[in-house]
Amino acid sequence: EVQLVESGGGLVQAGGSLRLSCAASGFTFDDYAIGWFRQAPGKEREGVSCISSSDGSTYYADSVKGRFTISSDNAKNTVYLQMNSLKPEDTAVYYCAATGATSPYWFRDDLYDYWGQGTQVTVSS
């Protein structure tokens, strides 16, 4: 059974940090890229970051570049999203997802095969 389980969300003040984790199981981790998406109330889901488990290539949305860092521990089949300098506009449910597609369009959620249940991140001003 394929599972993606997010953890690490919570409430933090603006300027603070959180680290999200995405633990994957049930598929060959090295064959997939793992992406982080977020969805705020009343807004569409948007791509935040992505990492290729095979070669470590990383991608970021412009809104988080320089503040968020994605990394992968292939031995643990886990991907992390370190979020620093958080802003109220980062408030959303964060999801991790896995795609077997090798594409520059990492931010397209329709390319992802498996999804986690999401974890809430709330940044207070």
Mean pLDDT over the full length of the chain: 95
Structure token digits, residue 107: 């931010």
d(CA 13, CA 29): 34
Q: Any residues with CB less than 8 A from the CB of 120 and at least 6 apart, and which?
A: 9, 10, 93, 94
Q: How many helices (H) and strands (E) does the chain have?
A: 0, 11
Nearest CA to 19 out of 64, 101, 83 is that of: 83
pLDDT at 95: 98
Tokens of residue 60, six digits: 């970021």
Find the mean pLDDT for residues 87-99: 97
